[in-house]
Copies of this chain bind each other. A is one copy, B any other.
Amino acid sequence: MLMMDLFRSYLHQNRLPLTHQREAIAMALFEAEHHQSVDDLADLLRGRGEHVGKATIYRTLNLLVEAGLARELDFGEGFKRYEHQAGETQHDYLICTSCGKVARFRREAMDRLQADVASELGFAVQSRMLKIYGFCDACAGAESSGQAVGSPASVGAGPETG
């Protein structure tokens, strides 16, 4: 697997050993379709008969992030999630505040906008995180929560961390 080779390469360059645990954790993340939490990975590995301590999972994920092979995400659930990052192009997220569903999308226009703003304000871009919150198809119409005052609901305070 390509990503695994990149990881091996990273470790080698930094004179770090490729342990059985690191390999198992990296494989699990690389094979996963979606954003995994540390617990997701722990369960997944346990199911394969691999017993890996959570501390090691945390440590390895940080390594993968430093290597540029994984990305840390926070959908406001109270814990982090991780997704592998091949040489993939940047993508953005649409999140349902009702059921938690996360949809990814990509728009060239978004990249241009980012570049424009950054150059205008004198920033050298490294990355971005765009999360659009709302109700997905399935959840539309099932609202409830407390009434907001003042501003129109369409621009009301959204969950961030939330």
Contacts and interface: CB of A to CB of B under 8 A. Distances in A.
A89 interface: yes
A150 interface: yes
A118 interface: yes
B137 A122 contact: yes
Interface residues of A, number: 73
Contacts of A109: 109, 113
Interface string A102-131: 010101011001101110011111111111
A134 B125 contact: yes
Given A6-B149, A123-B132, A123-B136, 13 more contacts: A10-B147, A14-B146, A14-B147, A67-B149, A68-B149, A68-B156, A69-B149, A72-B160, A124-B134, A127-B133, A127-B157, A128-B131, A129-B158
